[in-house]
Structure 1
C-alpha cells in the first residue's frame, strides 16, 4: 500500500503526517499527526477528533478515496502459470502526477521468473489506472468484481498479459465525429456543396462505385501479391484504395494547397497529405491501372554501374519496392508519410497468418512500431482522430501565428472531407461478406529487439536472452562489434540445438543496426533463423534485400 500512502500524504497539509490503521469496524483508517483519526467508510469519510482543514484533499475526494484504497489493496498481484511466476507491482509515476483531474496514475511493473531464473521485466509508464468518471460510477462493486475475475484468468494466459492490463477499466477510444468536436465552420455547407459531398446519398453512391471497383480488383491483386511475396494480403487494402480513388475524383484540391493537382492520384494525394500526412506508396499502388503489369528498373540504374553486386544484374526484384535500408524482411510498405521517411506497412509475425499494421521513420531512428489497430479501416480512423486532435490543440494555442492558424483551419476542412468519405466507405464495407483473416496467435515477447516491435514467437522456439539489446531495461547503448560476434556465436549454438528464437531476435537487431563490419554474419544469422522457423518468404525477401541494400532509391518500378 505504499502508493496509497504516497497519495494520502499529498492530500494533507504540509506539516501533517498520516499513519495507516483500521477502525474498530474494520474500515481502512489513518491517524493524523495533528490529532484524530480519519475513517474511510464505503459511502462517507468520517473525521473522528480530526480537523478536516488538515486533510483538504481527503475532503475533496470524499468516498472516492475509499474506492482508490480498495483497488490499490489488490496489488501486488502474483500470477503463476506453467511454473512461471509473474508479479505486477505499482510505483509512483515519473512524468505525470499521481492524482490529477484525469484520475489516478502509476507506473506498473511486471517481473517474471521461473525457479531461480529471472526474466526481463516490462512496465507501463504513467498508466491511467482509474479515471475520475470510473470512480463515480454506480456499479463500482461490479467493476472490482470484474477486475478480480480478469486477474484470476491471467493464470491461464500469462503470455498474453502485459502491465497495461492492470488498469481497472481499459478505456475504449471513441472516435470523435466531425460535427461533435470541430468548431463551427460557417462556410462549410457551401464548401461541401462545391465539392458535391453535401448530399449523403449521392456521396455514398459515388464512393460505392469506387469501392466496388477496388473490391472487385482485390482478388487479382491478392493473387499477384501471394505469387510475388508468398504472404497473405488483407482485404483492407481495397478499402484504402477506394478512399484514394474517391478523393481523386473531387472537383478541386484542398484549401490553399501548395500546388495545383490533376484529378486522380495526384489530387487524392493532395487531400490525404493535407489531412492525414499520408499518400499512396508500395502495395497501395497495386490497385492503379496497369500496376500489376509494371516492369522494374534495371539494377544498373540504381547501383553505380561498376558496383552492381555479382548475380544482381538485370531487372530488380519487385519486393525491393519501398523497402528502406533498415526495414525488416517482415515489413512490407503500403503508405508513405510526409516527413523523415515515414512509411506504414504490414508487419508479418508469420507467413501463415495475416499481418498487423506498423510504421517506421526511415530517416530518423528507423525503428518499427506496431499500431494499436491491426486493420486498415480502424487504423485510418485512429489516424484521423490523431490529426483532428492535433489541429484542435494548435487552434486553441494563443501563441500560434496567423499563418499557422490558417494552415490548421484548412486542415480541419480537409479532415471533414476525409470523414465524410470514411463514413460512406464504412457503410459499403459493412455490407460485404466478412473475410476470415486470422492474426498470428503466438504470444508476444515482453520486450523487443531494438529496431523491431515485440515479437510473436512460436512457444517451442526457445528463449531470447536479456543480452539482446532491447530485451533488458539495462540496455543503454549498442554493444561493440566483438561483443556482438560473441552473441552471434551463442545464437548459432542455440539455432543448432533447435532453438531459433535467439537468432531471430538478434538477427533482426543486427539487420536494423546495419553495421558494415558484421554485414555478412548478421545477414547469414537472420537468414538461417528464418529457414529454421520455416519462414521461407521472409528468407527470400532478406536475400534480395541483402543483395541490393545499397540501392540509391526505394522506388524500383519504371515510371
Structure 2
C-alpha cells in the first residue's frame, strides 16, 4: 500500500499503518522486531520448521485478495480470537495471537494442532518467547535422541549446535535472562494464561470480573468425555442470554466458546458469541466472527463439491 506526499509522489506506507488498516488492529511492536529478527536469521529460524504467515505475508509484499487477508492463513476451527502468524511442520500446528480484547494491544501467542484435538495453549507472551519455547522443545528431544540412538550421534550433535546458535541469536533480542536450556527451561518457564473461567478449548475468557457469573455450579465442559445434549444446550443458552441482559455477558461468551467445536450446536455458538461481543463492545471480534463463519462455510462447500 502507498500514500501521497505533499509533492504528489507515491511513498511506501509504514508497515504499522498498513497492517492496522488491513486488520483494524494495533499490533504489538514486538511483531515488527520479530520480523526484523527473522529476516536477519533466515537459515537459523528455519530450524523451528515454522513458516510466517498472515500479517507477515503483508510485510513480505505478498498481495492478498481484497477482503481476504483474514482468510489467508486461517484454519477451519480457529476461533474468532485466533489470528494465525505462523504454521508448523505437522498436524496443522500453527501459532497465532489470541486476541481477547482488540482494544488491548498485549496479545499472548497461542498454538494448536488443527488436525488433532481442539486444545489451544499459550506458548509465550511475545513471538520471541514462543520461538524460544519451540526451540527448547526441539533441543530437549534431540538431546534425548542423542542418548538413545547411538548410531546418529553426529547428526544430533550438529542439530544441538545449530539450536544453540539460534538460542544465542534470540537472546540478543529477548529472553537473555533465561539461561536454562531444554527440559530445564520448559519446566521453569511454563507459559501461563490469566483467564477465568476455563473453556472447552483450554483458553478461558478474559472479561471484567463484574461481567461474569456462572450459568451453573458445575461446568461439564471441563470433563474430557462430555458430549452436550440438545436439551441442556438449549436450557443453558437461554440462561446465558438472560444473564447477558442482566449485565453479565461473560456467561454467553463462555458458552459460545465451549460450543464452538460442536457442529450440531454451531448456530447457537455463533449467536451467543455475537451477543457477547456486542455487549462487551468488542466490535472487531464481531467482524472476525463473520469472517470465521464465512470461512467455515466456504470450506464445507469445497468439501461437498469434492465428494
State if a TM-score over 0.5 links the two structures: yes
Alpha-carbon deviations, 1:515-550, whole Å to 9, x = none?
1x3222221111111111101001100012112213
Write the mapping of 1:52-71 to structure 2, written as runs, cut at 5 A: none
For 1:221 and 1:508, the matched residues in 2 are separated by 32
Partner of 1:521: 268
- 1:24 corresponds to which residue? none
Identify the residue that residue 483 of structure 1 maps to in structure 2.
232
- Could you say which residue in structure 2 is the equivalent of 1:417? 165
Answer whether contact 1:226 1:232 (CA < 8 A) is retained: yes
Counterpart Cα distance in 1 of 2:296 and 2:245? 28
Q: Tell me what 2:293 maps to.
A: 546
Question: Which of residues 535, 543, 552 is equivalent to 2:282?
Answer: 535
Taking the aligned partners of 2:26 and 2:227, their CA distance within structure 1 comes to 34
3-state SS of 1:492 partner: helix
2:200 to 442, 450, 455: 450
Report the RMSD for the aligned CA atoms in angstroms. 2.7
Instruction: Describe the shift of the 1:467–1:224 C-alpha distance in structure 2 as closer, same or farther (beyond 3 A).
Output: farther
Partner of 1:111: none
8 Å Cα contact 2:195/2:205 also seen in 1: yes
Is contact 1:332-1:345 (8 Å) kept?
yes
Q: State the number of aligned residues.
A: 270
Tell me if structure 2 keeps the 8 A contact 1:226–1:233: yes
Quote the residue 2:112 is aligned against: 360
Distance in 1, matches of 2:218 and 2:75, equals 27
Q: Secondary structure of the residue that 1:239 maps to in structure 2?
A: helix
What do residues 73-110 of structure 1 show as CA deviations (whole Å, max 9, x unaligned)? Answer: xxxxxxxxxxxxxxxxxxxxxxxxxxxxxxxxxxxxxx
Gaps of 5+ in 1: 1-218, 249-267, 297-314, 428-441, 554-559
Query: TM-score scaled to structure 2, two decimals?
Result: 0.78
**Residues 495/368 of structure 1: CA separation in 2 closer, same or farther (3 Å cut):** same
| Whole-angstrom CA distance in 1 between matches of 2:220 and 2:74 | 23
Runs of 4+ in 1 over 3 A off after TM superposition: 423-427, 465-470, 550-553
- Supply the distance in 2 between the matched residues of 1:505 and 1:246 (Cα, whole angstroms): 41
**Which structure's relative contact order is higher, taking Cα pairs within 8 Å and 6+ residues apart?**
2
Alignment of 1:243-392 (within 5 A): 243-248=37-42, 268=43, 271-273=44-46, 275-288=47-60, 290-291=61-62, 294-296=63-65, 316-354=67-105, 355-371=107-123, 373-392=124-143
Partner SS for 2:234 = helix
Aligned partners of 2:109 and 2:247: how far apart in 1?
30
Q: Cα distance 1:462–1:449, how it changes in 2: closer, same or farther (>3 A)?
A: same
Higher strand share: 1
Contact kept in structure 1, 2:54 and 2:73, CA below 8 Å? yes
Query: d(CA) in 2 for partners of 1:481 and 1:234?
Result: 41
Q: Does 1:461 align with 2:211?
A: yes
Residue 534 to residue 478, structure 1, CA distance change in 2 (3 Å): same
Q: 1:325 to 1:464 in 2, by over 3 A?
A: farther
**Cα drift, residue 423 of structure 1:** 4.2
Match of 1:350, SS state, is coil
Is the 1:468–1:505 contact (alpha carbons within 8 Å) kept by the matching residues of 2?
Answer: no
Q: Deviations over 1:387-446 (max 9, x none)?
A: 22221122112xx2635x55533422331332343244459xxxxxxxxxxxxxx9621x
2:213 touches 2:250 (CA, 8 Å); kept in 1?
Answer: yes
Equivalent residue for 2:35? 241
In 1, Cα distance between equivalents of 2:21 and 2:219: 34
Report which of the two has the higher share of helix: 2
Equivalent residues in 2 for 1:126-275 (5 A)?
220-248=14-42, 268=43, 271-273=44-46, 275=47
Whole-Å separation in 1 of the counterparts to 2:72 and 2:56: 12
